[in-house]
Amino acid sequence: MLAASRVSGQPVVDLSDIYAPEILERAQDAINVFDFRETAKHVFQPGHYTRMMMGADNGETVMANREGFSKFQFRMPRLINTQNIDSSVELFGETYPVPIFIAPCGGQKAFHEEGEVAVARAARSRGVGQFLSNQASTAIEEVSAARGVPVLFQLYPNLEWATTEAVIRRAERAGSRVMVVTVDHPASNREAIQRFRRDSNAECQVCHSEEAGYFRVPPMYEGLVRNPARRTFLDWDYIDRIRDTTSMHLMLKGIVTGGDAELAIEHGIEGIIVSNHGGRAENSLRGTIESLPEVVAAVNGRIPVLIDSGFRRGTDIFKALALGADAIAIGRPYLWGLGTFGQEGVETVLDILTREFLVVMRQAGTVNLGQIDRRFIV
């Protein structure tokens, strides 16, 4: 029953119950991706949920990523035939049915026993592109086999150049044609997870003690010397070294300014992902959707521009494409789906976002991605 109150003598319906997310018993019951988030709260171990959801400092940039979308409104035309829609996008010669990619997220077996393999099967069933983190809990060869084609690879460079080079060579041998280097994470202050104090928290010790053996070296680093130093050493010279080392298409993830976008092109970078690490790295209080226009202007169509951080709705995707992005990538939503219902959960998240995006395409009278541009945005 709807709660009601009165303002100036008129009844006002409280819609909070109608729009509140639900706890799901089946993936197919989800109305939107927020239902998976609500279910994840009750399924995940508290430490794992906190690690996935936390941001830098007090998490203001996590919120800014969502709030940024509300700063752009739509201008919708009418009476356009949209019976036949083509939502496909091309990236480096590969065509995908929708402009939605799986962003790289490490350690996915913390959320589901099949981890990255379940995600790869979901990506294969829906035809979407999958970026695999070099912090993955499953080997790249196994994930690519589950995906059916080599995955796109994400690299965190290591201070030990021999280690970085060895990881790049392994990705090449696995058949990856695209590598994205994450550049937005030289340091971070993540207070939320510190409160769990893994070394003394009994709940965490079940998995993270030496006896449990959970905290293993990621497969991409097996047999390699890994320097634990943060990526404070990373600079354009190091990017040049990577560029000269591989024939893979090289992208940078974490570019948020037009100046860095220009420099990226000067250094031979072939694609950019506008990202602030989902608000987990720096507390800039600037959503990626707000950073996108200046990056797009600087690139001026010369290389592909993708964007991640905060995407939860089909309207979010349309706004990003209208502002000049070629595609978007999702992170937390597919992890909510993975951790609650495995492969089926990831597939359902992708289906919901695809359905919502196609709804907006029809509302805007656009029958292909090339028709989505700035005229739809105020």
| Whether the Cβ atoms of residue 83 and residue 334 lie closer than 8 Å to each other | no
Tokens 């994400």, located at residue: 154
Return the CA Rg of the chain: 21
User: What's the fold here for domain 33-376?
Assistant: TIM Barrel (3.20.20)
pLDDT tens across 27-53, in order?
999 999 999 999 999 998 888 888 888
Instruction: Please pick, among 48, 112, 249, 277, the residue that the annotation labels catalytic.
Output: 277
Please state whether the predicted TM-score (pTM) of the whole model is above 0.85. yes
3-class SS of residue 327: strand
pLDDT tens across 50-106, in order?
888 888 888 899 999 999 999 999 999 999 999 999 999 999 999 999 999 999 999
Give residue 197's pLDDT band: very low, low, confident or very high (50, 70, 90): low
Q: Token digits for 249?
A: 């298409």
Which comes out higher in pLDDT, residue 6 or 127?
A: 127
Which comes out higher in pLDDT, residue 328 or 204?
A: 328
Extents of the domains making up the chain: 33-376
**pLDDT at position 313 over 60:** yes
**Is 277 one of the annotated active-site residues of the chain?**
yes
**pLDDT at position 375 over 90:** yes
**pLDDT at position 2 over 80:** no
| Whether the Cβ atoms of residue 162 and residue 225 lie closer than 8 Å to each other | yes
Phi-psi region of 254 (alpha: psi -120 to 50; beta: other; left: phi over 0): left
Residue 151 DSSP class:
P
DSSP conformation letters of 227-247: ----GGG--HHHHHHHHHH--
